[in-house]
Chains A and B, each alone.
Chain A
Amino acid sequence: MAVCIAVIAKENYPLYIRSVPVQNELKFHYTVHTSLDVVEEKISAVGKAMADQRELYLGLLYPTEDYKVYGYVTNSKVKFVIVADSSNTSLRDNEIRSMFRKLHNSFTDVMCNPFYNPGDTIQSKAFDSMVSAMMVQAS
């Protein structure tokens, strides 16, 4: 279960960002924004030639004392970032992967909506509820 889920546009501005403890929202924004450094590093490390076969899942971007930040990049360079609580040790890599896959599918649905203007912030209810399902339930 994630504490923060973000979708970031190719140009690195947030398309969607949601975090669970609302009072920490700013901190998560900083965390997600800083994680873009590692995302970019990982993308460029793959190299241009291999870009086609690149795995979308980037794995753990970096751990902090409290959180683990995972990354995923679509072929169109839209980034997904999931922040999980470090204390949540039951979270396996496979679960993170499947969360990203779900996120990607739902994002694809959003993009397919003819009323959605690519580049706009995501306001889809379906997407929102899908994200909510992946988040730690706020107590």
Chain B
Amino acid sequence: MENKPIVTCAGDQSLFTSLYTSLAQQLPKEPMEWRRSYGRAPKMIHLEANFVQFKEELLPKDGNRALLTFPFLHIYWTDCCDTEMYKVSVKDGMLRWQSTLRLHGSVDWLIVVVESEAKKKNKTNILPRTSIVDKIRNDFCNKQSDRCVVLSDPLKESSRSQDSWNSFLTKLRTLLLMSFTKNLGRFEDDMRTLREKRTEPGWSFCDYFMVQEELAFVFEMLQQFEDALVQYDELDALFTQYVLNFGAGDGANWLGSFCATVKRWSGLLLRRPIDMEKRELIQRGEASLLDLRSYLFSRQCTLLIFLQRPWEVTQRALELLHNCVQELRLLEVSVVQGALDCWVFLSCLEVLHRIEGCCDRAQLEANCSHTVGLWTYATEKLKSLGYLCGLVAEKGPTSEDLNRTVDLLAGLGEERPETVNSLQSPYKKLNEALSSVEAFEKHYLELSHAAMEMYRAIGRMRSSRLIGKSLAEFYMKKGDPERAEGFLDDSLRSYVAEGWSLQVTHTRKQMAECQKLLQQTEDYLQTSALLAGDANLTEEERKHFYQVILTFASQAPTVALSMAAFAQLRQMQFSPPGAVVHVGAALQLELRVRCLMPVAVQVEQLAATLHFSLEQGGARGRAGGTQRRTGQGPQGQGDGVVLFPQGSPLAGAGMGASLPPALELYEMQDRSPSDSSLNSTGVVCKNMHLLLRRHDSSASLDTPTAGALPAAVAVDDGAQMLRARDITLQPGDNSILFTAPTGEPGSYTLRQLCGSVGRVQFVQSHIYPVVQYEVYSQEPQLTIEPLSDNLLAGIPQKVKFTIATGHYSVKKGDALQLSNTDSMPILHSSCCSRALSVQSSEKVTSISLPPTPPYHTLEFQLEVLCHIPPTPFKPDIERLTNGEVRHRPKNHSQADSGMIHIDQKVSIDCPWSIYSTLISLTFYVPFKAKHSILSTVCSQQSVFCLWEMRWVKHLPLCLQCAFSASFAPVSASDAHTAFKPYRYEFQLDRTLYSLKAEILPSSGDQHCRTGALCGLEVSITRQAEPSETEGEEEESTEIEGLRTTKLMYEVVDNSSNWAVCGKSSGVVSMPVAASATHRVQMEVMPLFAGHLPFPDIKVFKYLPHSAVPAIQPDTDSCLENDTMSLLDKGLDDQGDTASIRSRGSIHSVGSGEQQRGLPMPRLEPFSPGQVFYWSQGRQVLVLPVTDDHVMEVNVT
């Protein structure tokens, strides 16, 4: 637009003409700051002007608000320098000019006085130059002296001239801007007033539009495109608001014209700066909504391109097109079906052409993201037009379709003159596309591929695939499944990978259709299976797809499909849970499967192939060794249950890939190997390597997943398999019981699961987590164990025979053959088993076994006796069955017990083996005897033997001992035969009581003194608690639950050193319990001074009268002497024997006859060793009486 603000020139036209060129050049050189009202930001502006000759017609009349033709400034030019001249002509001219201006209310004027040296020189009668200017100022600019400027020598190249030019231009610019501000401000005010009237009836949007556009034009004229754009945006917003209000029920009359039926849909026209046709329509109020919108947008587009914002054009264009469609819908404007599609299609292409026209290729490619929306929109619209006009159908358009096409094309009108001659235009494209099926396909594919290409270039893969999918739909319509397949597959993969189940279902349905047409039986069945198990589909649809499978199942050649579509494994459970069994044992495996089919499925066979390996189970002999295995499986729970991880139910099989696997946590216990005490415990994550793997978030989209097109499944024919036949799988969870083959020892791993429905096989090629079980074979085992901790030699001992039959079945008549040995006879009398019969011959003991099936345990007990080997007896002895004694190099006697052991080997012939089994039994010799002879035994000589007896545990109260020795005269020739036995028996008693005596000086004294009474304290302490059997040997009475025995004590002094005062004997009742103590207090008086031995204290058993007399006439004279008769005393009396018998008046008990028959209590001495006298041999210091006593000194 070559509009410039108008400036009129009056006065000397020739003068102006001479200056015009430099003026027009110089004016825009310097920018001026334009300060604006309403707080708008000031702008720097380069001013230009269109200088025209002043005419009165140029001045606007009242009411005419046209801004484009408005003269913003009026200039009067004069070069008058002669006062006369001024007075005669110039002043009049100026006055006329001024009055005309005033008449029209124009106050923007300027008087320019041009001075030149040449002129001055010619005139002699010149006044000083100031005077003319002063006169003019005086005459016209009464208060505005700046309205008159002087321009000196404008055509000369001098600094003075330049200065005056500058000041003139500055003035000119300032005045121009002032005029703009004032006039535009006034215009805007008027415009606003007009806008405020919009609610009044009769207000016309079109009129207002013209007014505000005028302002926009001015801004455009002033190169203020931003401001111009604002005007259009305001108009846009105002119109939009009206439409919305109309939609909300607030109708405006003037909108009626926009609601007229759309008759033309020729699209946007962006190639002209101003589409005058449309503008006139608006001016006449005849524009349709599309016309108005198109015009408005074309203006906005022009301004935006001036502003070099082409990408905003595309963005606004898309908004506009969407908006127009919405507005027409809102206003309920009737439009021919497809007309809007045409309009949108043409408009999209027009915008794209416009943008292409102002950008280079590189720019376009870099800004795909801005244009791709329009491309896609155009594609969509062309597609819907194609469908509408029957261009997609296989048979081509019908006559109805053709009529519709003609109608649509008619609405496009004539092609615009701008594009008539160009080869490609939106108009031509649409015409061509709708002309034939082939042309449509060409254009549609071209657009689709262009859009997909662009989306791919900017990384919007999903959008690209969506177009691909609609292309696939197009191809399917065209009956071209080959080309559709790729697009569908691509989309399906991405939906599966990202877990969008509805899209997956929808696309899969299309895929099924496509595969059906392509006769890809296997893929079609696989897809059908997936669809039959798809919860997003209706029951009917699922049944339909299931039926597809069944149909194929009855006729087609065998097809293998992935199990995942058909059923999901939930869990497997072994019974017994350890999953370790012996050969031939029953092992059951319960498989829980979730069947995804909509109806019950008859599965002819469900089989799991087994991978067999010898490596583990075969070599294992003992069942005990397999305990470790439970819980070894990745999901092992220790109870034989293997759980299969479940993918998200939403996404089915494909989701497993994108979701992180679940944590597999296990308890970990670290036990010390020696005593299995707990060292540490913790939790271990077993699948850490999976969890901590770096997840590439972008990769998930492109990784092919099994769900989209499962990899080909192959049925593998394993030799061994778990089989279940003719099962009915109900929808949902099912439980299937397998009996696992356990024929061979080894490790069995489940590899492949295969369900057959007719000819269709559903195969799961890997079972993860690994499910395996082990079968072991066990050799028969015989163990012999002692029943007690240790076997003792010399006495009959029980041993337990345990036979683990292993794989051997014990038949009737099978027997164990034990080789007899002299040193260890088997005592069959005490054989304590049920069905065993023991037969002994001279050499062999045969134990016949009851028939027993394999893998059972047989137990029985036998009593054996190991003879203590005869002397000489060496500690480290190992006996073989033949009695041969072997000496071991190492000492095996146990240090703590001090016992010697004998390893007795037993040779057993077992029925299952040709070899004899050698079993070693260790017997301990109950005691250890050592002796060493210090000297040769000669006649008339005493030999002393010293033994130390050691018991490990309870010491018996009384031990019967026998000492036997073999002896022979030295002269005897044959030592073996000449030895004669010597046997001496005796009894060893344990200490029962200890006796402790203490002599204390009378109170106050430090030492005992002769003739003074001293205290004698005797404490009797029980040392040992008798065992049950031993208790009977002692006489005891029960008093209030406490077992007591009665003792009698007596103080006797044989050396006449002491005089016992008061009682000297008594009976005490001792509790039969260890460390029970009884204290007795007595008084004694020392008779001599010096170190005196303690008086003798004796204790006896005090037997009640009822007891059987136990006193035997003893050969020991000492005992006989001490035996006391207490006949003369009240024996029931617990009290003291009152008589003082310092010398022990002893009645000798001559013989037992005296007592016999008499119900008298008796005294019985303790055996030697039963009483321990602590104070035996103790002495006490006795001081003599100090005063009147003669000290006897014995000198020896």
Contacts and interface: CB of A to CB of B under 8 A. Distances in A.
B428 interface: no
Contact of B460 (A26, A38, A86): A38
B455 to A, nearest CB: 8
B460 A11 contact: no
B330 A87 contact: yes
Contacts of B244: 89
Given A11-B499, A87-B247, 4 more contacts: A13-B651, A14-B500, A30-B466, A33-B462
A36 interface: yes
Contact of B373 (A14, A62, A86, A121): A62
Contacts of B458: 41
A41 B372 CA distance: 14
A63 B318 contact: yes
B319 A14 contact: no
A37 B460 contact: yes
A34 B462 contact: yes
B388 to A, nearest CB: 16
Contact of B322 (A12, A13, A65): A65
B851 interface: no
B368 to A, nearest CB: 12
Nearest to B502: A29
> Which of A13, A37, A40, A86 lies at the interface centre, i.e. has the most chain B CB atoms within 10 A of its CB?
A13
Interface of B: 244, 247, 318-319, 321-322, 325-326, 329-330, 369, 373, 377, 455, 458-463, 466, 495, 498-500, 502-503, 506, 648, 650-651, 655, 658-660, 697, 700-701
B461 A11 contact: no
A55 interface: no
B975 to A, nearest CB: 94
B322 A63 contact: yes
A30 B369 CA distance: 20
A11 B700 contact: yes
A87 B506 CA distance: 28
Given A38-B460, A89-B244, A120-B648, A30 B503 contact: yes
A117 B650 CA distance: 15
B659 A119 contact: yes
Interface residues of A, number: 26
Interface of A: 10-14, 25-26, 29-30, 33-34, 36-38, 40-41, 62-65, 86-87, 89, 119-121
A36 B701 CA distance: 12
Interface of B is mostly: helix
Contact of B498 (A12, A86, A120): A12
A34 B491 CA distance: 12
B459 A41 contact: yes
Contacts of A64: 322
A38 B460 CA distance: 7
Contact of A33 (B329, B369, B498, B700): B498
Contacts of B455: 37
B369 A34 contact: no
A13 B466 contact: no
Nearest to B323: A86
Contacts of A62: 373
A87 B461 contact: no
B377 to A, nearest CB: 8
A64 B459 CA distance: 20
Contacts of B503: 26, 29-30, 33
B659 A37 contact: no
A25 B651 CA distance: 17
Contacts of B330: 87
Contacts of B325: 65
A36 to B, nearest CB: 6
Contacts of A11: 498-499, 658-659, 697, 700
Contacts of B377: 65
A89 B241 CA distance: 10
A32 to B, nearest CB: 9
Contacts of B369: 41
Given A12-B498, A13-B500, A87 B326 contact: yes
A10 B651 CA distance: 15
A30 B462 CA distance: 9
Contacts of A86: 322, 326
Report the 9 A-B pairs with minimum CB-CB distance, sorted nearest first. A13-B499, A37-B460, A29-B502, A37-B462, A12-B498, A34-B462, A37-B463, A11-B658, A65-B322
A87 B463 contact: no
Nearest to B464: A37
Nearest to A117: B662
Given A30-B466, A41-B369, A13 B658 contact: yes
A25 B658 contact: no
B373 A36 contact: no
Given A11-B697, A37-B461, A25 B502 contact: yes
> Which of A10, A33, A38, A40 lies at the interface centre, i.e. has the most chain B CB atoms within 10 A of its CB?
A33
Nearest to A25: B502
A33 B460 CA distance: 11
A87 B697 CA distance: 36
Nearest to A12: B498
Given A12-B498, A33-B500, A63 B319 contact: yes
Contacts of A25: 502
Contacts of A34: 462-463, 466
Contacts of A12: 498-499, 700-701
Contact of A36 (B321, B326, B462, B648): B462
A14 B655 CA distance: 11
Nearest to B465: A34
25 contacts: A11-B499, A11-B659, A12-B701, A13-B500, A13-B648, A13-B650, A13-B651, A13-B658, A14-B499, A26-B503, A29-B500, A29-B503, A33-B498, A33-B500, A34-B463, A34-B466, A37-B459, A37-B463, A40-B459, A63-B322, A65-B321, A86-B322, A86-B326, A119-B660, A121-B648
A8 to B, nearest CB: 9
Contacts of B463: 34, 37
A85 to B, nearest CB: 10
Nearest to A35: B462
Contacts of B321: 65
A121 B322 CA distance: 34
B624 to A, nearest CB: 41
Contacts of A38: 460
Nearest to B380: A65
